[in-house]
Amino acid sequence: MSFLRLPIARVFSRPSVIRASCPSRLPFAAPLHPLRMASSVPAPRFAEGEDPQQLGPDTETLQQQGWALDADGMGVTKTFHFKSYFKAVSFVNLIAAESQTKKHHPTMTIRFGSVDVHWTTHHPRGLTHKDISLARHCDNGADLMGAVESGQGLKCGPST
Ligand SMILES: C[C@H](O)[C@H](O)[C@H]1CNC2=NC(N)=NC(=O)C2=N1
């Protein structure tokens, strides 16, 4: 079978598009590759109308920048670390302003010295170019706000 000749990483990262025309199959619309069935490695699942040829490589680049794909492949998350609570909140405000402009809003969790950002698209369901582009905006904004490596962020107790 031809897929057996593909490198494992390529097989596992092959993206798929969710077919909104068949809602009863959601969220399991993407055909699972036999090798991925036994694996927990997620693959991106793009919303109807998105271009997987374009967004597949873009998503891989985001993953290389520290963004993690949700288990269902329909969202991306990253934690940004800061040396002060004020910087963390300022970063959130920066993202909030762009979100308002683009009419696309992340889920953000502010901690003492870090912010978790999660992007997904609800309508149409799945990963879209908006998620990808705003995730990139977060990376740029984090640089602007002086984000640091995880070990260097402000900490307050073991769970923060
Ligand atoms: C009408 C309005 O633009 C939509 O409801 C927007 C609002 N913000 C949103 N944000 C996100 N993350 N996903 C959406 O699908 C979404 N939809």
Closest C-alpha to ligand 1, atom 2? 103
Contact (CB, 8 A) for 46 and 121: no
Question: Tokens at residue 160, please?
Answer: 């923060």
pLDDT tens column, 115-130? 999 999 999 999 999 9
The residue behind tokens 């302003």 is 97
Residue 121 Cβ < 6 Å to ligand 1: yes
Alpha helices in the chain (DSSP H): 8-12, 34-37, 52-64, 85-102, 129-144
Looking at CATH, the fold of the domain delimited by 2-152 is given as Gyrase A; domain 2 (3.30.1360)
Q: State the distance from the centre of ligand 1 to the C-alpha of 120, rounded, in angstroms.
A: 9
Question: What pLDDT, on a 0 to 100 scale, did the predictor assign at position 2?
Answer: 42
Position with higher pLDDT, 35 vs 39:
39
Q: State the distance from the centre of ligand 1 to the C-alpha of 42, rounded, in angstroms.
A: 24
Q: Cβ of 141: how many Cβ atoms within 10 Å? A: 21
Residue 101 Cβ < 6 Å to ligand 1: no
Residue 130 Cβ < 6 Å to ligand 1: no
Q: Which atom of ligand 1 is nearest to the CA of 120?
A: 12
Residue 10 Cβ < 6 Å to ligand 1: no
For 13: left if phi > 0, alpha if psi spans -120 to 50, otherwise beta; the answer is alpha
Q: Where are the domains of the chain?
A: 2-152
Question: Tokens at residue 129, please?
Answer: 């170019």
Please give the average per-residue pLDDT across 39-56, as a whole number.
Answer: 93
Please give the average per-residue pLDDT across 43-70, as a whole number.
Answer: 98
Contact (CB, 8 A) for 71 and 41: no
pLDDT tens column, 100-155? 999 999 999 999 999 999 999 999 999 999 999 999 999 999 999 999 999 899 88
Alpha carbon distance 156, 81 (integer Å): 13
